[in-house]
Every structure is written in structure tokens, then in C-alpha cells.
Amino acid sequence: MPATTIVDVRVQPLNVELLEPFGIATGAQVMARNVLVQLTLENGVCGLGEAAPFEAVSGETQQLVLQQFDEAHRLLIGRDVHEFRNISAALWEAWGSVPTAIAGVEIALFDALTRSLGISMLDWFGRSQTELRTDITITTTADVDPIAAAVRASQRAVREGFHTLKVKVGKDPLDVEHARLTAIGEAAPSARFVLDANGGYNVKQALELLTSLGPLKHRIDTFEQPVAREDWHGLIEVERTGGVRVCADESIRGFSDWAALVKHGGPSGLNIKTAKLGVVRAWDIAQSARVLGFELMIGGMVETELAMSCSACLAAGLGGFSHVDLDTPLFMHKRPLVGGYAQHGAVLNLSNLGLGHGVQYDPGVITA
């Protein structure tokens, strides 16, 4: 049996309290109910992965992810992790409707493989750069005064050294969103913005919001998923008529979606997330998108430093990602994990990762 054969698979809930609910147009997550995946190889190396279901985005839940692992033995035990493309194909065939479970396994798989090779995942993907600069999210909120809450969050972000604010929009009426964005613009006068509607608008509403912003519109780098996932013409229209770069996120859940984007000729950017695509497909789509000249964003669901360190290795390894949205560990209380990238304000430093993605499980750290 090769030393890199999978001999054991374990999963457990990874529940992490959030400092405040992570609100988007379609709902909010008050606690991260993720899943920790551990793959052990014949050589004794253990790889760690994380599945991060976000029900309001994809309908996936922690329970649904855990259920998939009833089949884990058949799919994984006895397989050599060097065959990661065949393993990935088998996972997509069996678990295609629960991509975050596939991501959990593939993160653990590449962690185990690269640890066995004695290298980091950053080296595996190419080490194009050792630093990334992330944005920080200004979430939607249930606060009675959403404008004051957004101003407080924006001022804090500026104090902590963030230059790009990703503002979740699409929950409140347009006049409230307009007032909120204007207030954020004043609270963070030198910040750039990404708007993310998570598909919450139609074309008319998205364009109305952009027009209402006046000069503030010129500080918007990207408008992420302004309209519904299937509305390719709408995404392109918001980009062309609205005069801002549009990035597809919910629209890109696999190869056929990516092919549809290319066929439609836009929009000009796409958000790559392992939770939607797994690691292998995220890697493949990122490579082809870069070759075809599309703008790349790296993002995630509400993930700890575990899944985020894997994504950081993918983005910094391949290089060429114009936008980095890897901020959700900042919204979390203590979790039973140590290591990964070092963060100072907006900067994620990957130069001292160690092996794999660098993150280790330490149950002693858990608080709840």
C-alpha cells in the first residue's frame, strides 16, 4: 500500500460563535455551523479540511454535510491522495448537490498530500506571491438603525487598516441602502468599495442604486452578483449600463456555469470559492479564467482560518487574483485551530505557513 493511501476519515461539527450575525440580502448566519474533516494516511500524516455550509446562500446545512460522510469509506478509504483528480470526480458524482462537503474533503486531501511531500500548499500551487490584501465585510444588520451600525463597522475597519470595504446590500429598500452607502462613504473617506447583493436585485433596482450614488459610484471597484444567479443578460447589463465591474458569484457553481459565462461574454469577473467548487475545480476554473482575461476574486462562506488558509494558498500560489475577500475569521470567537496565514490589518502573510495549509487542530483552544 502506498504511504499516501487514505486509511481513516473522521468528521465532527465545528461550531463557532460569531461576534455579530453575518447578514446578507437573503438571510443571516448567527453561528458558523461548519464541519471539520480529518483524513489520515498510511504514513500517519493527518490532513485537515473544513466544510462551511451557508444555508441562506446554497441551502446546505451542517446536518446535510455530515450525512454525506456515511459514504466516505466507499469513496475514500484505500485511495492514494496522489489520485486527487479521480477522487474529486468520484466525489462530484456522489455528492454533487453538497459542494461544501466536497470542499471539506479536498482541503484535507491537499493538506495531507503536501504535508507528505514536505511542502506548504502555497508551494504546491506555485508561490506567485507570499502576501494578499483582503477586504472586510460590512454585513446587513437587524439593528434598528442599520446606518449607524454600518458607520460604526466602517470606522472600525478603517482604524484596523482596511482599504476596501465589501458592503452587503439588497436587504433594505433602495432609499435606505442609498443612505447607508452614503454614510459609509463619509465614515471611510479614502476606502474603495465592493458591493455584494447576493442576487437580491433586479436590473432596474441595481441600476437605480448605482445612479443614486452619484460621485460615490467611482469608488466602487466591483458589484458582486447584483441580480439572480441565472440572469446572465442582467449581469452584463448592470456592468455595461451601470459602468462598474460586475463579478459573478452565485452564478458560478461549476464547470457548466463557467462555460455559460464565457458563452455570454461576461460579466468580466468571477468569485472563486472552494465551498462552491471544491479545490480541484476552483483551481481549474481560476486557471482558465486567467488565461481568458477575466478578473478573479477569491472568497469563501463563513469559514475559519482553516478553509481560508487553503483559499489564500490557492490565490497567492496561482497569482493574478485582483480581489481578495478572506475576512470571515475576523467575525469569529475563539476556535479550536492554530496556525495558517498571519494577519496584520488587511494583510495576510503566508511566508511562514509550515507544511500544508499550516492549520492544526487543538481542542485545548476551544471555549464553548
Contact footprint for Mg ion (CB under 5 A)? 196, 224, 249
In whole angstroms, how close is the CB of 198 to Mg ion at the nearest point?
6
Sheet bearing 342-344, strands edge to edge:
131-133, 347-349, 342-344
In whole angstroms, how close is the CB of 194 to Mg ion at the nearest point?
9
Task: Name residues whose C-beta falls within 8 Å of residue 170's C-beta, 6 or more positions apart in sequence.
Answer: 24, 25, 140, 177, 197, 198, 199, 200, 201
Taking the least distance from each CB to Mg ion, the nearer of 106 and 135 is 135
In whole angstroms, how close is the CB of 55 to Mg ion at the nearest point?
15
347 beta partners: 133, 344
Taking the least distance from each CB to Mg ion, the nearer of 145 and 230 is 230
Taking the least distance from each CB to Mg ion, the nearer of 221 and 249 is 249
Q: Which residue has the closest beta carbon to Mg ion?
A: 249
Taking the least distance from each CB to Mg ion, the nearer of 269 and 356 is 269
Taking the least distance from each CB to Mg ion, the nearer of 196 and 239 is 196
In whole angstroms, how close is the CB of 255 to Mg ion at the nearest point?
19
Taking the least distance from each CB to Mg ion, the nearer of 69 and 201 is 201
Count the Cβ atoms, other than its own, within 10 Å of residue 65: 25
In whole angstroms, how close is the CB of 135 to Mg ion at the nearest point?
11
In whole angstroms, how close is the CB of 332 to Mg ion at the nearest point?
19
User: How far is the CA of 41 from the CAs of 3, 77, 80, 106, 309, in angstroms?
Assistant: 7, 9, 9, 14, 21
In whole angstroms, how close is the CB of 239 to Mg ion at the nearest point?
16
Taking the least distance from each CB to Mg ion, the nearer of 224 and 295 is 224
